[in-house]
Structure 1
């Protein structure tokens, strides 16, 4: 259901964006720094493997015949 084999590139880009943003926030906030969740900098819906779904072969045996 998806054309991508890996999300490694997407995850790397996501975490680089998170580290860069957190570093900037740390410089500005100083001792009042409170870390943000890494989910605020990206979404799994925008990654290459979005659309991957689970297929239960026991539930749909007719579709597994070949």
Structure 2
């Protein structure tokens, strides 16, 4: 469960940051950048947990 509506803005910004870094990186001197350096899913706005009070919302926490 999350309070964020979408990851679209986060993904768009991270892909832009990755493209800029790859374009600025000199591939003749070094190896290519690792794609895992950008857009870590645990940094996204939809990541995280939400506390739900079982006494206030028994229909959600029925199991």
Smaller-chain TM-score range?
0.5 to 0.7
Q: CA deviation at 1:38?
A: 2.0
Q: CA deviation at 1:32?
A: 4.8
Q: Which residue of 2 aligns with 1:7?
A: 7
Runs of 4+ in 1 over 6 A off after TM superposition: none
TM-score normalized by the length of structure 1: 0.61
In 1, Cα distance between equivalents of 2:14 and 2:5: 17
What is the aligned-residue RMSD (CA, Å)? 2.2
In 1, Cα distance between equivalents of 2:35 and 2:11: 11
What are structure 2's unaligned runs of at least 5 residues? 50-60
Report the secondary structure of 2:32's partner residue: coil
Would you say the 8 A contact 1:15–1:38 is kept in 2?
A: no
Tell me the number of residue pairs that the alignment of Structure 1 and Structure 2 aligns: 52
Q: Counting helix residues as a fraction of each chain, which structure ranks higher?
A: 1
